[in-house]
Structure 1
């Protein structure tokens, strides 16, 4: 796909989202929502499009480098015996390859929040669009003989609709190899993804990983802000090299870190802990 085609496809995807959200009537009585600006940025800004296209363009460059270096692996646990395995890339799904902001925007406009039922209903409605750059990158990888795996915390019930939607967008799949690995498909396939990474690593050299959340790269994503920072710094050699992160200010493990994932706290108490985590200017 040419750069011109990539830009046009990105614009078409955003235009599609804008068409979906235009049905929300302006209503001064809509409750305040902490996620409004994040969803607005993710769904409407050119800056968002620029960051994702840039991330996937970097991915192409890194992929070409990885294919010339048999010692290149993105998995810290893939230490020996992997050099002659066929190459693979691993991508998260939600807000890494599929833009789910229609669901987030619905929550903002309706004054609701995430629930498993509404999320599954949304997935089955197939209202996602492709993240700009994602289809182009995955097709590029497949054209190089690289196996493309999607490791997602969507569950089995949501898998058929997701695959149908992704195939219609042009994401590559393999009829002979299961490349869409959903949560709980195996007893040890929890929301932490390392067991699924290990499953892939048995037969493939994983050269690149993409995600929008720390947990898309490592199981050490939970913890305090200080613990997460320490782990981030320990993984410094991976960022931008074989781990490529996309920005997502709407949700993720970053959000619960200030209150140490204590969801027994009320929303107001959670917000208070988030404010405490900020480092404000003194005003002078």
Structure 2
């Protein structure tokens, strides 16, 4: 009789434990979002911080070279002419994931089971609460102290430029009080997400000695260009990286992902999954 009662008690406890485990697993389940691992890496890995410091430290050690060499330019357009040599030096930087870290926004989207949308994005930007990418403040201020003009060319919309300015100033970045050195998407006619016209405006007035970004479009036109052509262009301009061009890792989003799907916007999830499986190179 005692043995029978014991078996009943043990069975009841086991059933209760299983129920508790199941509920706990549901409560603590990791959101099913393709950017979860990438966002965790940006926010938690020491390696990401090391790469950011490495990039800006390399630029810091290199900057004396272009300041002493009037032939030096980071612009592929200026290389076609010698008119730039007498122009004052300038540096062009992207903002998002180059000088400001927006991983908290992505973390919110993951926790809320949302995809990127402009309303939530602008609300985040208007908080003016993004932190500086490691090494960015120190480098830009050093360059500014050397007499280099700093330009931020961003695809943030013009409607959030004032909040962006507040954020940059709060983080300690050099922001001009006498000229607009934050060039936003849509701020002027023809200023589109390609950044071509905005770069040209800087190139017309300054010798661009360094460019910083997290996407190939921050350095040269790469919109709607397939993966092979993008790889060919990187090889063509390979000597620029680490000297004139400085690129940051961004596994969360970017034109690299659009290129993965050949810039098709209307693919189903099953079609995307088929492409992903095909793109995963297992060497067999």
Instruction: Please tell me whether residue 82 in structure 1 is matched to residue 84 in structure 2.
Output: yes
TM-score, structure 1 normalization: 0.87
Contact preservation (8 Å) 2:137, 2:172:
yes
Specify the SS of the correspondent of 1:209: strand
Name the structure 1 match of 2:63: 63
CA RMSD of aligned residues (A): 1.4
Separation in 2, partners of 1:281, 1:110: 37
Separation in 1, partners of 2:72, 2:223: 24
Specify the SS of the correspondent of 1:230: helix
Specify the SS of the correspondent of 2:91: strand
Question: Which deviations, in whole Å up to 9, do the C-alpha atoms of 1:162-211 show, x marking residues without a partner?
Answer: 10011011100112221100011111111001111100011110000000
Greater share of helix residues, 1 or 2?
Answer: 2
Contact preservation (8 Å) 2:214, 2:250:
yes
Contact preservation (8 Å) 2:168, 2:175:
no
Contact preservation (8 Å) 1:39, 1:105:
yes
Name the structure 2 match of 1:188: 190
Specify the SS of the correspondent of 2:240: coil
Which of 249, 252, 265 aligns to 1:250? It is 252
Separation in 2, partners of 1:279, 1:30: 26
Segments of structure 2 that go 5 or more residues without pairing to the other structure are: 1-25
Separation in 2, partners of 1:131, 1:281: 36
Separation in 2, partners of 1:45, 1:115: 26
Q: Note the C-alpha offset of 1:281.
A: 4.0
Contact preservation (8 Å) 1:30, 1:110:
no
TM-score, structure 2 normalization: 0.87
Separation in 2, partners of 1:269, 1:147: 46
Separation in 2, partners of 1:118, 1:220: 27
Name the structure 2 match of 1:10: none
Call closer, same or farther: CA 1:139–1:27 in 2, change over 3 Å.
farther
Which of 122, 127, 135 aligns to 2:129? It is 127
Residues 124-273 of structure 1 mapped to structure 2, 5 A cutoff: 124-273=126-275
Specify the SS of the correspondent of 1:202: helix
Separation in 2, partners of 1:257, 1:223: 7
The structure 1 segments of at least 4 consecutive aligned residues displaced by more than 6 Å after TM superposition are none
Call closer, same or farther: CA 1:27–1:235 in 2, change over 3 Å.
farther
Separation in 1, partners of 2:222, 2:29: 41
Q: Note the C-alpha offset of 1:274.
A: 2.3
Contact preservation (8 Å) 1:30, 1:111:
no
Separation in 1, partners of 2:60, 2:223: 26
Q: Note the C-alpha offset of 1:237.
A: 2.2
Separation in 2, partners of 1:176, 1:34: 43
